[in-house]
Amino acid sequence: MSDRAGIKISRKSFFSSMGILLFLMVLVGVLTKTIPAGVYQRVITDGRETIVPGSFRLAGTVDYPIYRWFLAPLEVLRGSDSAMIIVIILFLLFIGSAFTLLDGSGILRYMMETLVSRFSKKKYLLMGALILFFMLFGALFGIFEELIVLVPLAIALSYSFGWDSLVGLGFSAMASGFGFAAAIFNPFTLGVAQTLAGLPPYSGTAFRVLIFITLYLMLYGFLAFYARRIEKNPERSSVYNEDREARRRYQFLEEDSLLGKSEVGKAAKIFGGFMGGILLLILLGFFVPALSSVTLPLVAVIFLTGGIVSALTSGYAPGKLLKNLFAGFLGMLPAVVLILMAMSIKHIMTEGKVMDSILYYTSGRLADLGANEAVAGLFFLILFLDFFIGSGSAKAFLVMPILLPLTDMVGLTRQTAVLAFCFGDGFSNLMFPTNPTLMIALGLTVVSYPKWMRWSLKFQAAVFIVALGFLFLANRMAYGPF
């Protein structure tokens, strides 16, 4: 197998993404010098931090020097989000190391050859099924971060069918994100927001199912059209050069097939068992709250353990295994730097005490708007806040107590407000470089953030327009029960 196995982040992709994040760090740093510092009073309710409506006050001058803007990527490791950040970093390192073993031992190639042999004439049917799989996990269970472990496998499958890494990202990470936004029973955004709004749990389901079906058809149509186009001319792919070397590892020539090698086949089945365990764990996390809080690190540990056990089963020499584990670890370090920079943007806003000020001034403007303008304003406000606050449930507890009374004043139903919240929180997961899940997904591929945005921006814009249309429709029909 190739000694160049595993995930490689190109130097160009790293520096382009780093440049964007550095610009954003400076930009939000400037905001701390230009926006009056202010804070809301916070209380703990049922173990969750919530804002007390009407408690905003100016905080006076805050001593937050400029040099700390650039130290923020290190400061986040001892900040309030440090535990979450460390888990994300370990997740990334574990997945990168395990994938190096799967690639180098031939297990990944064997799995892809098997799928290609079975679906060579039905690959678009398989694409549709995979999109549905990823979207349903997001829409029903609120699973997004945990499925990122499958992105490298999706990329390899995309290569094997003659597509590029963008298609693989599309039917895995993008599908998960759209499913998360089109929440049918998503407990982390829909469930929390409806509870805070006093709505019956998971009420209004039929309308959300219609939204889910619409987004599914849009995503499948977009990916199928793009995949057929680059099948005819691979050089039309914006990541053609980045994909070329990685693609060579997944060219399945009959004279070099692994399908007849029993030890690799046995190892692939063992790894498949570990993958089944991961999916079972994710599903159990939906029903067992105590388990859901540790699902992400457990997924990483199981994936790494599965990679090691299956690689040894395939005949991988222990010495080479350790060498490749270390190589996979090193290969992910650039992505770790990007994660720290992305997380530092919220840290700068919080330390400069302007996060609450932005929420106060922007939310207050909703009270002067009409119903349609207000629902659009609420949608874009949540989008904006998601740039700084990634967690959907945390954002719901922080902002919904403030926004719900405003929606009552302008004549929006609370169900419509909850829908706007789900849209604003979910769709931004695929757009902002401050979202760690997006940066992890890109870090597991050769796709830089700028190229991701150039490829997906027009489609995401179309989805936003459709989302606004659904919000206006919900407003027109008084989407309820109230």
Residues 98 and 304: their CA atoms lie apart, in Å, by 5
DSSP state of 288: -
**Which amino acid appears at position 316 of this protein?**
Y
Domain boundaries, the chain: 11-53+66-476
The confidence score (pLDDT) of residue 284 equals 82
Residues 255 and 465: their CA atoms lie apart, in Å, by 50
Span 199-231, pLDDT tens digits: 888 899 999 999 999 999 999 999 999 999 999
Retrieve residue 306's tokens.
């599965």
- 8 A C-beta contact, residue 384 and residue 432: no
Judging by beta carbons within 10 Å of its beta carbon (0-12, 13-18, 19+), is residue 424 exposed, middle or buried? buried
Judging by beta carbons within 10 Å of its beta carbon (0-12, 13-18, 19+), is residue 132 exposed, middle or buried? middle
Q: Supply the Cα-derived Rg of the chain in whole angstroms.
A: 23
Retrieve residue 368's tokens.
């002067």
Average pLDDT per run of 10 along the chain, which is 482 residues long?
52 81 92 90 74 85 90 89 84 82 80 80 92 90 78 87 93 93 86 86 91 97 96 91 70 50 84 87 77 80 90 86 84 85 88 87 80 89 82 75 79 91 88 86 87 94 96 93 84
What are the φ/ψ torsions at residue 39 (nearest 5 degrees)? Answer: -140, 150
Residues 182 and 30: their CA atoms lie apart, in Å, by 35
Beta-carbon contacts of residue 16 (< 8 Å; ≥ 6 apart): 448, 449, 450
The confidence score (pLDDT) of residue 4 equals 45
The confidence score (pLDDT) of residue 138 equals 86
Say how many Å lie between the first and final Cα of the chain, rounded: 61
Residues 186 and 141: their CA atoms lie apart, in Å, by 5
DSSP state of 173: I
Q: Which of 69, 68, 86 minimizes the C-alpha distance to 77?
A: 86
The confidence score (pLDDT) of residue 48 equals 66
Token pair 């830089």: residue:
448
Span 28-38, pLDDT tens digits: 999 999 999 99
Retrieve residue 376's tokens.
């659009």
The confidence score (pLDDT) of residue 70 equals 94
Beta-carbon contacts of residue 451 (< 8 Å; ≥ 6 apart): 13, 166, 238, 239
The confidence score (pLDDT) of residue 188 equals 77
- With H, G, I as helix, E, B as strand and everything else as coil, classify residue 53: coil
- 8 A C-beta contact, residue 443 and residue 335: yes
Please count the CA atoms within 13 angstroms of the CA of 250 that sit on its side-chain side.
Answer: 30
- 8 A C-beta contact, residue 446 and residue 165: yes
Span 183-203, pLDDT tens digits: 898 877 888 888 888 888 889
Residues 439 and 257: their CA atoms lie apart, in Å, by 34
The confidence score (pLDDT) of residue 3 equals 42
What element of type H or E holds 49? strand 48-51
